[in-house]
């Protein structure tokens, strides 16, 4: 009984100093319900309550950061394992990859737009570099046949120099190749998150005099769908 009274006294003293229940339980090993009963009449000052709130928020943040790091580690583990599964890519596989990329993101010939040249538009740097690799190494397109256009929202006019430098470095092309710029009108309300310093618009890669190539790509796509039995 004396031990219980001693623990109760210690718990009350710690509480009056502004310690949280979790902190007190480390020094006074009793049931939380018992501790709550002992301390229900112990008042705290405004400063102590603020301090406890700050401790609680800090604890929540540590827990969130720990969870976030655990998720980041798991994602990286999955991606690392997946990368090892791509042991090599043959010339034929790269040809098929590029064809599928164009099928998804390239301009197609329509009844109202015959003689459509090859045009590929995207803002993903890796996808653009892969498509350029496909054009140069598989289709054997020379640099002189390539045209680059920047499409960007008009409120980014002041950052155009940094945008051109970014794409020049990213795509490993001379900055003089990026003189075609088209501004898109901004909407008053938008859900876009790609704004600010991380926004570089999108790039359209066009191949000069390439309507025949575009039709050939269409044939490759039809061959893929036919072989896979989806037509």
Max distance between CA atoms of the chain, in angstroms, equals 96
Q: Are 229 and 120 in contact (CB under 8 A)?
A: no
Q: 203 with 167: CB under 8 angstroms?
A: yes
The count of other CB atoms within 10 Å of the CB of residue 91 is: 9
Residue 107: count of CB within 10 angstroms of its CB: 16
Contact 167, 200 (CB under 8 A): yes
Rounded to whole angstroms, how far apart are CA atoms 135 and 205? 10
Helices 211-227 and 91-105: crossing angle in degrees, nearest 10, is: 110
| CA 27 from centre of chain | 45
Retrieve residue 151's tokens.
Answer: 């499409």
How many helices (H) and strands (E) the chain has is answered by 8, 4
Residue 50, pLDDT score: 77
Q: pLDDT tens-digit profile of 18-67?
A: 788 888 888 888 888 888 888 877 777 677 777 778 788 888 888 888 89
pLDDT tens digits along 104-139: 999 998 776 678 999 999 999 999 999 999 999 999
pLDDT of 95 reads 97
Tally the residues of the chain: 231
80-107 pLDDT, tens digit each: 999 999 999 999 999 999 999 999 999 9
The domain segmentation of the chain, as residue ranges, is 2-43, 47-87, 92-227
Residues whose CB is less than 8 angstroms from the CB of residue 145 and which lie 6 or more positions away in sequence, other chains included: 207, 208, 209, 210
Residue 139 CB coordination number (10 Å): 17
């Amino acid at each position: 009984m004396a031990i219980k009274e001693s623990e109760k006294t210690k718990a009350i003293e710690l509480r009056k100093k502004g310690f949280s229940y979790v902190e007190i339980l480390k020094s006074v090993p009793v049931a939380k319900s018992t501790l709550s009963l002992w301390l229900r009449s112990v008042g705290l000052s405004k400063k102590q309550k603020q301090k406890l709130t700050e401790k609680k928020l800090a604890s929540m943040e540590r827990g969130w950061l720990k969870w976030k790091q655990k998720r980041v580690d798991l994602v990286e583990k999955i991606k690392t394992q997946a990368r090892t599964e791509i042991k090599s890519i043959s010339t034929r596989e790269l040809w098929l990859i590029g064809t599928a990329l164009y099928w998804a993101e390239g301009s197609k010939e329509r009844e109202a737009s015959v003689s459509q040249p090859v045009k590929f538009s995207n803002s993903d740097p890796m996808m653009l570099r892969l498509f350029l690799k496909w054009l140069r190494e598989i289709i054997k397109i020379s640099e002189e046949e390539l045209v680059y256009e920047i499409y960007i929202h008009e409120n980014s006019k002041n950052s155009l120099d940094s945008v051109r430098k970014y794409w020049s470095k990213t795509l490993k092309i001379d900055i003089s190749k990026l003189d075609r710029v088209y501004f898109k009108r901004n909407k008053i309300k938008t859900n876009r998150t790609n704004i600010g310093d991380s926004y570089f618009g999108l790039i359209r890669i066009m191949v000069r005099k390439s309507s025949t190539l575009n039709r050939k790509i269409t044939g490759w796509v039809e061959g893929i769908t036919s072989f896979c039995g989806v037509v």
